[in-house]
Amino acid sequence: MCPAPVSDHSQRGFIIPIGGGEDRQKEMHIHSKFVELSGGASADIVVVPTASQLDSTGPDYNDIFRGLGAGKVEFLPITSREDCDNPEYAAMLDRATGIFMTGGNQLRLSTILGGTLVAQKIRRRNAAGIPVAGTSAGASIMSEHMVASGNGNSAPSGDGVSLAPGMGLTNAVIIDQHFTQRNRLGRLLSASSYNPFLIGLGVDEDTAAFIGPDDILEVVGSGTVTVVDAGTMTYSSMWQAGRNDALSLLGLKLDVLGEGCRYDLKNRHAYPPSDDKNGFCSLADLQDR
């Protein structure tokens, strides 16, 4: 599924995958930047807690965003595909200035939202300039191809990862979360080996990749974002590997980005932090260096 088309007079909104476990009590840099991008005091944020089975998840994020100064926060109590046809929920998304998808189970999220009016609205609102953030499961579903499952603490292998269709907010990357904490490099390498066109993003806990409309990614948070570029790969044994066979992957490029680092998804190049810590870096800024 490709991202929804952008009209001639607008630009795509930020896509913000968060690795889960984000700081919700102290400085809350990730949530603060999301509220700022959503309009601050004028924001109308809609939370989608469907991935979680906890009744407290939606209200908890409402309290967080209100506490950070968001003007209005609502959540969609979607627990079934039937709920996704509710015209009231569609209207809430139509007026949203920011959309946030919580953590939980990404297959629960994809099987309930996939192909529904709510999913279409989220895609179209992002194409119209509205930022969409997601943490943990909510991060995984953002890409066209979603990491559905796979073992951590293992080398890349023929059965190292299972993929499923995602929401398709981006078709340039494939996203994994809780990355360093659950040692998921092997499964991200397995995912990247399926199609070297995709850039693998492994996002740590309390860390986010703010992907702007110019396809420049900026890292915010206390951890790192690991970028796997399989486009430079010279050899892969994936096509002939058995289920338990270790993979040979030659020529991969890997970057590990801490807070403030940028990555140009179009040109596949990483940049160190700039001197300006207050704003996001544009493609023009990078080209001027």
Identify the CATH number of the domain in which residue 34 sits: 3.40.50.880
Asked if the structure places residue 89 within a domain, the reply is yes
Q: Can you give the pLDDT at residue 275? A: 59
pLDDT band at 289 (very low <50, low <70, confident <90, very high): very low
Q: Where are the beta strands (DSSP E) in 19-125?
A: 44-48, 72-75, 98-101
Q: Give the count of domains, the chain.
A: 1
Condensed to tens digits (0 to 9), the pLDDT of residues 238-260 reads: 989 988 899 999 999 999 999 99
Residue 3 lies in a domain: no
Is 102 a member of any domain?
A: yes
| Parallel/antiparallel/unpaired status of strands 249-250 and 145-149 | unpaired
Q: Which of 144, 178, 192, 236 is catalytic?
A: 178
Q: How confident is the model at residue 276 (pLDDT cuts 50, 70, 90)?
A: low
136 is catalytic: yes
Q: Per the domain annotation, does 2 fall within a domain?
A: no
9 located within any domain: no
**179 found inside a domain:** yes
The yes-or-no answer on residue 269 being catalytic is no
Flag whether 152 is in a domain: yes
Q: Residue 286 above 70 pLDDT?
A: no
Whether residue 240 lies inside any domain: the answer is yes
Residue 178 a catalytic site member: yes
Q: What is the average pLDDT value for the chain, to the nearest integer?
A: 92
pLDDT at position 108 is: 96
Q: Strands (DSSP E) along 139-252, which ranges?
A: 145-149, 162-165, 173-177, 199-203, 207-211, 216-221, 225-229, 235-236, 249-250
Q: Which domain holds residue 244?
A: 15-287
Of 52, 143, 193, 205, catalytic: 205
**pLDDT at residue number 282:** 52
Q: What is the pLDDT of residue 285?
A: 56
Q: Considering 38, 110, 136, 193, which one is annotated as catalytic?
A: 136
Tell me the pLDDT tens digit for each residue of 130-167: 999 999 999 999 999 999 998 888 899 988 889 999 99
